[in-house]
Amino acid sequence: MATNGSALSKFAYLLVGNHADAEDLLQNALTKTAVHWRRVARYDNPAAYVRQAMVNETYGRWRRKRLLQMVSVTKVPERQTPDALRASDDRVDVWRALDRLAPRQRAVLILRFHEDLSVEETAALLRCSTGTVKSQTHAALSRLRALAPELADLRVS
């Protein structure tokens, strides 16, 4: 946690859309990781196990129809990150568009472009084929272009 805490918190926030739910999600994932620490400690990257636990927990909540409260961001989140988008208006537009994607499409985009995982790493984390990751990425980006054409010229700083 000392090494990857900030990155894991950001990942949780991107999955659920608000700080309170992100903290709960991360805490649940860390609790599950601690229970299985002997097995997790053998991995080269225990943070990947925690990310997997967060994705599984989020999917489980979606499947059980106990959706996490997805909050549309109408203002800039209180915590700023160095890799945040340049303007708060762009950030709000991105969040509104992401909120309208299917959960799997949103997860694929977050893993691929925010977490900078490869297609293969994303497929392993989501337990699907690389072809599924590619098609979900294509479909999600197409849907984003349709939902928010004003984001076409947006560049991440």
User: How many CA atoms lie within 13 Å of 92's alpha carbon, on the beta-carbon side?
Assistant: 7
Q: Quick one: pLDDT at residue 67? A: 42
- Is the pLDDT confidence value at 135 over 90? yes
* Tokens 């990781």 sit on residue: 33
Do 67 and 6 lie in one domain? The reply is: yes
Domain count, the chain: 2
Backbone phi and psi for residue 51, each to the nearest 5 degrees, phi listed first = -60, -45
Same domain? 93 vs 111: yes
Residue 64 and residue 95 in one domain: no
SS3 132: helix
- Say yes or no to pLDDT of 121 above 60: yes
Q: Do 100 and 52 fall into the same domain?
A: no
User: How far apart, in Å, are the Cα atoms of 24 and each of 39, 54, 68, 83?
Assistant: 23, 10, 11, 23
CATH code, domain with 114: 1.10.10.10
pLDDT score at 145: 84
Tokens of 122: 């994303």
User: What are the tokens at 92?
Assistant: 């709000």
- 69 versus 80: which is more confidently predicted? 80
Could you tell me the residue range of the domain that residue 92 belongs to?
77-157
Q: Are residues 156 and 82 in the same domain?
A: yes
Q: What is the mean pLDDT of residues 102-128?
A: 89
* Per-residue confidence (pLDDT) for residue 66, from 0 to 100: 41
Same-domain check for residues 7 and 66:
yes
Q: What is the CA radius of gyration of the chain?
A: 16
* More confident call, 48 vs 74: 48
Q: Which residue has the higher pLDDT, 109 or 17?
A: 109
Exposed / middle / buried, residue 15 (Cβ in 10 Å: 0-12, 13-18, 19+)? buried
Tell me: the pLDDT tens digits for 94-114?
777 888 888 889 889 988 988
Half-sphere exposure of 9 (CA within 13 A, CB side): 12
Query: Which pLDDT does position 122 carry in this prediction?
Result: 92
Is the pLDDT at 65 greater than 50? The verdict is: no
Q: Which of 71, 99, 120 is the last residue of a domain?
A: 71
Instruction: Looking at the structure, tell me whether residues 87 and 134 fall in a common domain.
Output: yes
Cα 155 from Cα 71, distance rounded (Å)? 24
What six digits make up the tokens of 104? 């799997």
Residue 70 has pLDDT above 80, yes or no: no
Q: pTM for the full model?
A: 0.55
Same domain, 97 and 140: yes
**Do residues 12 and 61 share a domain?**
yes
